[in-house]
């Protein structure tokens, strides 16, 4: 009597995959993927992280001075001396003002470009006539390099340039404001108090975050944000005198009005970029959702405030990360608008270049580069951590 043959013995029949076979195939796929990525990993490891490590090492040496350009210059390890000098030394006054300028550049660029870009996107989301033309006009500045736009704005903001002369065409007196060379400053503070100021800022941020967290988790907001913020602020208020001064003498820094021209040029160039991001986000929201909000009695303002803009939180975070990174690299725009030697509009990126390649102080320039690198990481790392946690919850 003929017995039925098993499927595995039938010619051409599909053989069921065993767990061992699946594991071998998965291991082979991982090996192929690793070998494919290996050249890129080696290049990134050498030319990115390797050079970052070399820059950190250079910043902890005394490489500079008259023999800096020698074929085999002598380098001696001095630890964190360059960093201490930048923040507390007598010769670091220029860098400290540049760092203050960079903070204001970042804040003003974020507020101006994100706010103006969102406003323009909301207007274009109403589908006005000539929408395509208007979108092109607003996006055009982004196609220009910083050198080109900086040169144009330098002409416009000159003492006799277009901006100061413009009121004359409407019957008013021309402006006399020095957009790029003003020596006036506002929001002036003493660098001696920088440690106390930073603690106040940290307390304010914690309290602000806690207030926003109250609706979601009241206990967590009080325990992790509100209470620590109040304690830090209260400690500085009551016992701030025991916090050491950063300098042995008074050194005033503030928001130089000469930076206004550069901020205007930067916002003009990048507001179109944020407009494009938000407009794409608005177009991606379902029309049914908007119709439902309107049926519930929501006005246009309420729709954007409570529905559309909260849904575009990832776009806002991405715009903040990108613009923050750009604000830390405003070398070419400042160089084109005010030149390399205008201390009122200085920036750490410009100071780093001049210190390294004009003054031949390579170790000091490397220290400035690492400071900028750490400041950029303050914006990017929290975003990456947040994205990683969101992916882990899915």
Residue-wise DSSP of 61-90 = B---STTTTSSS----B-TTHHHHHHHHSG
Residue found under tokens 């806002």: 316
DSSP letter assigned to residue 181: T
pTM to 2 decimals?
Answer: 0.82
- Tokens (6 digits) for 14: 């599909």
d(CA 331, CA 146): 9
Residue found under tokens 């270049």: 353
| CB contact at 8 A, 271 and 120 | yes
| CB contact at 8 A, 351 and 98 | yes
In the prediction, which pLDDT does 313 show?
Answer: 86
Please give the distance of CA 152 from its chain centroid, rounded to a whole number.
Answer: 25
Angle at 277 between CA 271 and CA 282, to 5 degrees: 120
In the prediction, which pLDDT does 264 show?
Answer: 93
Q: Which residues contact 166 (CB under 8 A, 6 or more apart)?
A: 175
In the prediction, which pLDDT does 307 show?
Answer: 86
Other Cβ atoms within 10 Å of 260 Cβ, number: 19
| CB contact at 8 A, 101 and 256 | yes
d(CA 360, CA 66): 8
d(CA 381, CA 384): 5
Cα-based distances in Å from 172 to 41, 157, 169: 62, 18, 7
In the prediction, which pLDDT does 390 show?
Answer: 66
d(CA 53, CA 44): 12
d(CA 40, CA 38): 5
In the prediction, which pLDDT does 306 show?
Answer: 84
d(CA 163, CA 176): 10
Q: Where are the domains of the chain?
A: 188-252
d(CA 57, CA 74): 14
d(CA 222, CA 250): 37
| CB contact at 8 A, 316 and 114 | yes
d(CA 177, CA 359): 33
d(CA 240, CA 243): 5
CA 270, 278, 121, 138: dihedral to nearest 10 degrees? 30
Helix, coil or strand: residue 245: coil
Q: Which residues contact 100 (CB under 8 A, 6 or more apart)?
A: 253, 254, 255
In the prediction, which pLDDT does 220 show?
Answer: 84
CB-facing half-sphere around the CA of 103: CA atoms within 13 A: 12
Residue found under tokens 């201490």: 84
308, exposed or middle or buried, with CB in 10 Å at 0-12, 13-18, 19+? Answer: buried
Question: Residue 256: in which H helix or E strand, if any?
Answer: strand 252-256
| CB contact at 8 A, 263 and 108 | yes
Other Cβ atoms within 10 Å of 206 Cβ, number: 20
DSSP secondary structure of 110-145:
IIIIIHHHHHHHHHHTT--TTHHHHHHHHHGGGGS-
Could you list the pLDDT tens digit for every one of the 394 residues in the chain? 455 444 444 454 445 557 777 777 778 888 888 888 889 999 999 998 999 999 999 999 989 877 777 777 888 899 999 999 999 887 788 899 999 999 999 999 999 999 999 999 999 988 888 888 888 888 888 888 888 999 999 999 988 888 888 888 888 888 888 898 888 899 999 999 999 999 999 999 999 988 888 878 888 888 888 899 999 999 999 988 899 888 888 899 999 999 999 999 999 999 999 999 999 898 888 888 888 888 888 788 888 888 888 888 888 888 888 888 888 888 888 999 988 888 889 899 999 999 998 888 999 999 999 999 888 888 777 777 766 666 666 5
In the prediction, which pLDDT does 68 show?
Answer: 74
Q: Which of 372, 324, 376 is nearest to 348 (CA)?
A: 372
In the prediction, which pLDDT does 387 show?
Answer: 67
In the prediction, which pLDDT does 7 show?
Answer: 46
């Amino acid at each position: 009597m003929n017995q039925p043959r098993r499927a595995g013995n039938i010619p051409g029949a599909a053989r069921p995959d065993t767990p061992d076979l699946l594991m071998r195939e998965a291991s082979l796929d991982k090996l192929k993927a690793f070998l494919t990525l290996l050249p890129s990993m080696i290049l990134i490891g050498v030319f990115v992280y390797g050079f970052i490590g070399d820059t950190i090492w250079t910043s902890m040496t005394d490489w500079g001075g008259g023999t800096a350009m020698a074929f085999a210059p002598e380098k001696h390890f001095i630890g964190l001396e360059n960093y201490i000098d930048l923040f507390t030394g007598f010769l670091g006054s220029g860098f400290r003002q540049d760092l203050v300028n960079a903070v204001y550049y970042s804040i003003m660029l974020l507020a101006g470009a994100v706010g103006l870009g969102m406003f323009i996107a909301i207007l274009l989301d109403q589908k006005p006539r000539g929408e395509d033309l208007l979108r092109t006009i607003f996006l055009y500045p982004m196609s220009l390099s910083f050198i080109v736009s900086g040169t144009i704005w330098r002409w416009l903001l000159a003492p006799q340039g277009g901006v100061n002369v413009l009121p004359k065409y409407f019957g008013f007196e021309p402006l006399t404001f020095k957009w790029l060379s003003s020596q006036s400053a506002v929001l002036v503070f003493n660098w001696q108090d920088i440690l106390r100021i930073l603690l106040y800022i940290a307390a304010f941020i914690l309290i602000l975050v806690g207030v926003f967290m109250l609706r979601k988790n009241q206990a967590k907001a009080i325990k992790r944000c509100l209470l620590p913020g109040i304690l830090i602020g209260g400690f500085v208020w009551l016992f701030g005198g025991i916090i050491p001064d950063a300098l042995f003498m008074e050194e005033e820094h503030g928001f130089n009005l000469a930076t206004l021209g550069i901020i205007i040029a930067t916002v003009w160039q990048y507001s179109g970029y944020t407009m494009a991001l938000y407009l794409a986000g608005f177009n991606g929201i379902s029309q049914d959702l908007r119709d439902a909000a309107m049926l519930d009695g929501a006005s246009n303002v309420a729709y954007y405030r409570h529905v559309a803009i909260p849904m575009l939180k990832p776009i806002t975070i991405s715009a903040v990360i990108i613009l923050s990174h750009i604000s830390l690299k405003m070398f070419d725009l400042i160089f084109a608008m005010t030149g390399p030697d205008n201390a009122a509009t200085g920036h750490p990126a410009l100071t780093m270049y001049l210190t390294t390649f004009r003054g031949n102080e390579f170790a000091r320039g490397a220290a400035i580069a690492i400071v900028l690198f750490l400041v950029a990481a303050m914006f990017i790392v929290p975003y990456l951590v947040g994205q990683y946690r969101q992916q882990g919850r899915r």
